[in-house]
Structure 1
Amino acid sequence: MNLYTPRKTVSFWKKPVPFFEAVGLLIILSIILTTVVLIISSRISHIASDVSANISNTKIPPHEKRHRYSPEEKWQFRPRPLSVQKMKTQGCVTDGFLSSYGKKYADDLAELIKRSECYYLHRALETWLVPPDFYFAKEMMQKIDRPNIVYGMFIAEALN
């Protein structure tokens, strides 16, 4: 006759924990974590202030003029009142035309636009790859030189 009955031991992770002990443990752990985060952030802010104090003021050179343009030039684009209906019906997509994306064909495109019925040039000035070159844009606008034309601008989120 075997009188031995094995005891079932409950795993540490499966033991019931009283509610107030669990809440107390969570409060203590959150206080410790908050203290550690505050100490680390104060050290980081000291390091950042030291680094920023050591950095000299770096001057970024202005965008070099690559195109023929003089400030004394009298040509100026004068926009006229907009017609939304004309923009809807006579709009043309010219992605990056004034931003020198298709620089190789810029003169041909300017002639094509000059001959066309386009009233609104959608996304003519873009900022996707590089900041726009306003000197080049003005040069292209002078080549088109149509009295009633609307240039669209697309401001992209990819610009750094």
Structure 2
Amino acid sequence: MATMAKKQKPKPDNLIAQNKKARHDYTITDTYEAGIALTGTEIKSVRDGKINLKDGFARIRNGEVWLENVHISPYREGNQFNVDELRNRKLLLHRKEINKLGAATAGQGNTLVPLKVYLKHGYAKVLIGVAVGKHNYDKRETLKKRDQERDIARALRER
């Protein structure tokens, strides 16, 4: 008798880390996928999920995009090859994308925030978003709208 294996729900894009606070604190207007220039022990830590995007942001300097304030824990077996956990890491983007990001962040109050880190074809990628800061009343409005949508969905399911 043949048994059928359970279908496993695939992880979306091999998601490693997500910045949930970013969508709460900012309105995301546009997103870009970028590669991250990492050292050998850093990529091993990232694959283990030892990355924290909570306070991270990106900045354009000298025509290059740098990911700052993102914590990647040292690799346990890395010994002397480990690097500083909070070092700035270069993001790999095309020149046209860097120019678009520069124009988008030139406005008052716009910033670049990392939204999630995932593996794609064996390479670590980061999804960065062009973000505009929310006020407290906007945050409450978003929470209220989400609760209302959840209540509507629940009522439709119960029918």
* TM norm structure 2: 0.21
- Using CA pairs below 8 Å that are at least 6 residues apart, which structure has the higher relative contact order? 2
Q: Which has the higher helix share?
A: 1
Q: Which has the higher strand share?
A: 2
Please say which structure displays the higher CA radius of gyration. 1
